[in-house]
Amino acid sequence: MIKRIRALLEWKQLDSDQKQKIKAISILIGLPVSRPALYLKALRHRSIVAEKKLAATESYEQLEFIGDAVLDLVVSEIIFKKYPDAGEGLLTQLRSRLVNGGMLAQIGRNIRLMEYIELGDRVKNQGVEYSESVLADAFEALVGAVYQDHGYDICRDFVARLYHQFVNFDEMVSARDNYKSMLLEAAQAKKMPAPVYRIVQESGPGHEKVFEVEVRVNDNVLGTGSGKNKKKAEQVAAQQALNILKNI
């Protein structure tokens, strides 16, 4: 009863554009919205805070924090149940790939989240809402809003539905030994630039050539590897760099 009264009071405070947006968001997430202000906040880019003289906590960044934690737990549950025989290493790798910025942005694009992000006038028409970081952050904030509005169980079902709809889990498992992809994901998670690979030496006759490759992250050499072709050498270097990057 209290929840319904609060929802009604919040609804009356919205203007017509906000009401239309909340109706659209409800359809988007497939759930009723009882706390409209949460969802407006979850999709409010920081560029509009100063413009409208709002409190610093009124952008999506605060809800992004709780959404990040909820996503970690929900995704951990999903893969733990889906792969009961998997070891901790594989589960950890899978979770890392399933909650990184690229994956969250991909889900955000799939549900057309960019159409609901509120931007300040100074950044409109610059494609900000299509950027990977903004889509990932907004998706985390949306998950945080659903959690705050409906509680963990409903939020878990919401997240699981999206992941099962848009993610090929078995394909990700089969690609788990792609160390170059894993290194890229780890670098992105730490807000570092993409790894750069360079052949530093070629040796041996033409039919038995050996390539030595180094990989740099943030302009630091984190790994070297050798192999009979460039791709194999890069994978060895990436595996070495990944082990180092995890401890940075």
pLDDT at 173: 73
Among candidates 125, 161, 143, 127, which has minimal Cα distance to 25?
A: 143
**Catalytic site residue 140?**
yes
Q: Is the pLDDT of residue 6 over 70?
A: no
* All structural domains of the chain with their residue ranges: 2-174, 179-245
pLDDT at 164: 95
Q: Is the pLDDT of residue 174 over 80?
A: no
Same fold, 2-174 and 179-245: no
pLDDT more than 70, % of the chain: 92
Q: pTM, whole model, 2 decimals?
A: 0.70
Mean pLDDT score across all residues of the chain:
88
Q: With bands split at pLDDT 50, 70 and 90, how would you rate the model's confidence at 105?
A: very high
**Catalytic site residue 68?**
yes
Return the CATH fold of 2-174: Ribonuclease iii, N-terminal Endonuclease Domain; Chain A (1.10.1520)
Which of 64, 118, 137, 140 is an active site residue?
A: 140
- The CB density around residue 178, as the number of other CB atoms within 10 Å, is 15
pLDDT at 7: 61
Which of 68, 132, 157, 212 is an active site residue?
A: 68
CATH number corresponding to 179-245: 3.30.160.20
Q: Is the pLDDT of residue 108 over 90?
A: yes
Q: What is the DSSP string of 143-174?
A: HHHHHHHH-HHHHHHHHHHHHHHH--HHHHHH
Q: Is the pLDDT of residue 213 over 90?
A: yes
